[in-house]
Structure formats: C-alpha cells, structure tokens
C-alpha cells in the first residue's frame, strides 16, 4: 500500500457498509457469530442484517433478543428462503446510500477484524468485489474427512479461493464484499439459482467490466456438512447450479470442472461390465485414485480418521456429476436455456 493509498483510505474511513447474513436454522451458530460481528459494526458504524428464511429452530428468537442489546442489528424475513433472495432483499430495503455490502455466511468462522480488512482492501485496490480464501475445517469424523477432501486438489480441482491467496485479480471467488452500485448495476443475484449464484453473478460482473480482487489479508473458515447425506445433497445442488450457469451464459466448463463431469458416465459404463470387464476400468480407476489420495492424507496428517477423505471426495464428485447431468438433460428435454 502506498502513502497515497493510505491517505485516500483515511479520507474515506470508514466507508458506509451493510453486513448481511442470510440464514436458515442456524440457532447453534448465530448467537456467537453476532457477538463476534457487533464490535465491528460499532467500529465501522455499520448495520448488521440477518435475513432469515423461516427458521424453525429458534434462530429468529435468538436474533430478536440480541437486537435488544445491539441497536445496529436488524432481522428481516426472507419468504423465498434461498440465500440469493436474502441478499437482494437486504439491499433493496436497506442499501440506499450505502457504499458496500459485506456478505457473511451464518455457518462460517471469521477473524475479529474481517470486515475492517475487506473495506481496507476495497479502498486500496479500487476493486468492485473483494473475495476471500476459505479454510475448511471440522470437528466430527465425517466433517473432518470432508474438510480434508475439500482442502485438497482432489476435492477442489485447484480452485484459487479454496487455498491461501497471495492477492490477485481473479474471475470468481467466495463472496465477501461488493460495491453496492456494481451489485445493483448487474441486477443483483439471480434468484432462480439456489446454488452457484455467486459464480453466476461474478460472470455478469466481469461482463460489465467490474473487477474482482482475491485478498491475501483475511480469510474465512468454512464448516462442511457433517454427514455423507448432507454432503451428497449439497454437491448435487452445486452440480445443478454449475450446469444452469453454463447453459445461461453459454460458457465452456473449465478443465477442473470437466474431470468430475465424467464420473456419472463412468458409473453408467461400469454397469456394462458383465459384457466386458474393461467397462468398469474408468470407474474403478477413479475410485482407487480417491481412496489412495485419502490414504495419503491420513498418512501425512497422522490421523486414520482421514481415510474417510477418499469416500468423501467420491460422494462430492459423484453428486456434482449427477446434479450437472440431471440439470443439463432436464433443460434440454424442456427446451430451456437456463
């Protein structure tokens, strides 16, 4: 950062911002998250907006009680339930005259100065969007194994925002901060997307000439699903979302996305192994690769529980591939482009 950058930051500090938390059934986490963010909100003169999608576990009651202590805390009802609609609603109702949106995941972990660092990066770089790296971690057996898989290239394909950043301009990353004028200029999130809405929006931002900066100054912690069923359903949705994104914008999948696309065809081909054993080879090779990779992670981490990282990666790959092909085929049969 140059002296000129520091001077401009001082002149504009703190820029106005809105901290938005989409959530649904996060009673176990929302209280501690709001306690963490409240000092930042006071320091930055920002409002915290929890947009709840109809929680049935007491989340709304927790937020309502904390709002009595935290004047900057606001609770909104998100009748559409999905995250894209939650953020759009917050900006529509409370974004007027505010410069930046900071999006917080209710199920994530953050450093105490997270919001400060994001705003500093936005001012220093002039970025329209600042995205962050994600460190995935877990506590239970399956969650820890899923975290190990997601932190590895086997699970992410080398996606830059899944690893420690060095600070660079990129095409897509985990959404953290966005200039509200840029967000509104491209129409906000597409609410027809229940998954992959961030990548879809990033595509439109880039098409409109806006810039996305992956910061090295802060990151978030992500807690994966704690069951194989939850992991499967999550990645099924991710696959569908990616297919809808590709269909909507007519883009070619990246190489790291092409590889898992082949898992469903491999599985279908393997059902023909009764005709010839070679039909099962691609599927068996993929399965062996995942299991061996998981074993290597367990050896490196000196933790036998990480042997489940291999099966976790298999669940992720298969569900993503199945979701992608389901969406692609259903869109083709219905004649829809999105």
Tell whether 252 and 188 lie within a shared domain.
no
pLDDT of residue 7: 45
In the prediction, which pLDDT does 152 show? Answer: 87
pLDDT top residue among 161 and 102: 102
Q: Is the pLDDT of residue 171 over 70?
A: yes
Task: Please state, as a whole number, how many other Cβ atoms lie within 10 Å of the Cβ of residue 251.
Answer: 10
Phi, psi for residue 217 in degrees, rounded to 5? -90, -15
| 278 and 323 within one domain | yes
In terms of domains, do 282 and 308 share one?
yes
**Range in 6-15, 253-262, 325-334 with the lowest mean pLDDT:** 6-15
The neighbour count for residue 127, using CB atoms within 10 Å, is 22
Residue 251 reports pLDDT greater than 90 = no
Predicted local distance difference test score (pLDDT) of residue 12: 75
- 138 with 146: CB under 8 angstroms? yes
Burial class (CB in 10 A: 0-12, 13-18, 19+), 316: buried
Residue 9's pLDDT is 53
**Which helix H or strand E contains 33, and what residues bound it?**
helix 30-44
Predicted confidence band of residue 338 (pLDDT cuts 50, 70, 90): very low
| Residues in contact with 102: Cβ distance below 8 Å, sequence separation at least 6, in sequence order | 17, 18, 19, 20, 46, 115, 118, 119, 176, 177
Write the CA distances from 256 to 36, 264, 319, integer angstroms.
36, 16, 16
**Tens of pLDDT along 207-240?**
999 999 999 999 999 888 889 999 999 999 999 9
**Mean pLDDT value across residues 143-150:** 92
Q: SS3 helix, strand, coil % of the chain, rounded to 5? A: 55, 15, 30
Residues 119 and 216 both lie in one domain: yes
Q: In this predicted model, which residue has the larger pLDDT, 337 or 116?
A: 116
Pair 44, 162 in one domain: yes
Q: Are residues 65 and 122 in the same domain?
A: yes
As a whole number, the mean pLDDT across the chain is 90
Say how many domains are in the chain: 2
pLDDT digits (tens, 9 = 90+) for 44-54: 999 999 999 99
Same domain (yes/no): 178, 314: no
Instruction: List the CATH number of the domain containing 50.
Output: 3.90.550.10
Of the three residues 225, 247, 266, the one that is the final residue of a domain is 225
Q: Where are the beta strands (DSSP E) in 147-222?
A: 168-170, 174-179, 212-222
Kindly tell me if the per-residue pLDDT of 250 is higher than 90.
no
Q: Which of 225, 250, 284 is the last residue of a domain?
A: 225
CA distances from 162 to 50, 78, 316 (A): 26, 29, 15
| Residue-wise DSSP of 261-279 | HTHHHHHHHHTTTTT-GGG
Q: Does one domain contain both 252 and 200?
A: no
Same domain? 66 vs 150: yes
Residue ending a domain, among 172, 197, 225, is: 225
Do 167 and 220 lie in a common domain? Answer: yes
Q: What is the pTM of this model?
A: 0.86
Tell whether 245 and 216 lie within a shared domain: no
pLDDT digits (tens, 9 = 90+) for 183-202: 999 999 999 998 899 999 99
Mean pLDDT lowest among 4-8, 86-90, 124-128, 311-315: 4-8
What per-residue confidence (pLDDT) applies to 157? 60
Q: Which token pair is 57? A: 């576990």
Domain that holds residue 175: 3-225
Radius of gyration, alpha carbons of the chain:
21
Is the same domain home to 250 and 195?
Answer: no
Cβ within 8 Å of residue 258, ≥6 positions away: none
**Residue 161 pLDDT grade (very low, low, confident, very high; cuts 50, 70, 90):** low
């Amino acid at each position: 950062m140059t002296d000129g950058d520091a001077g401009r930051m001082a002149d504009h500090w703190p820029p106005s911002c809105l901290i938005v938390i989409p959530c649904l059934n996060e009673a176990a986490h929302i209280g501690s998250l709001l306690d963490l963010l409240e000092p930042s909100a006071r320091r930055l003169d920002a409002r915290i907006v929890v947009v709840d999608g109809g929680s049935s576990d007491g989340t709304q009651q927790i937020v309502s009680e904390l709002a009595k202590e935290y004047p900057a805390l606001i609770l909104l009802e998100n009748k559409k339930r999905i995250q894209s609609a939650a953020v759009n609603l917050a900006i529509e109702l409370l974004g007027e005259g505010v410069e930046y949106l900071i999006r917080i995941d209710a199920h994530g972990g953050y450093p105490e100065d997270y919001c400060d660092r994001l705003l500093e990066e936005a001012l220093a770089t002039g970025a329209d969007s600042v995205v962050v790296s994600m460190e995935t971690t877990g506590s239970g057996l399956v969650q820890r194994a899923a975290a190990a898989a997601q932190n590895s290239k086997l699970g992410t394909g080398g996606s830059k925002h899944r690893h420690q950043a060095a600070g660079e301009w990129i095409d897509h990353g985990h959404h953290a901060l966005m200039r509200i004028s840029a967000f509104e200029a491209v129409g906000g999130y597409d609410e027809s997307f229940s998954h992959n809405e961030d990548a879809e929006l990033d595509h439109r931002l880039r098409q409109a000439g806006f810039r996305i900066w992956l910061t090295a100054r802060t990151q978030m912690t992500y807690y994966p699903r704690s069951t194989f069923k939850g992991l499967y359903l999550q990645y099924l949705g991710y696959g569908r979302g990616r297919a809808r994104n590709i269909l909507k914008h007519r883009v070619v999948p990246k190489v790291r996305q092409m590889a898992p696309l082949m898992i469903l065809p491999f599985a279908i081909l393997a059902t023909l192994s009764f005709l010839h054993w070679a039909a099962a080879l691609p599927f068996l090779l993929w399965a062996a690769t995942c299991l061996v990779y998981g074993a290597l992670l367990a050896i490196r981490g000196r933790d036998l529980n990480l042997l489940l990282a291999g099966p976790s990666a298999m669940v992720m790959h298969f569900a993503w591939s199945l979701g992608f092909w389901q969406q692609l085929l259903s869109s083709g049969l219905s004649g829809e482009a999105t």
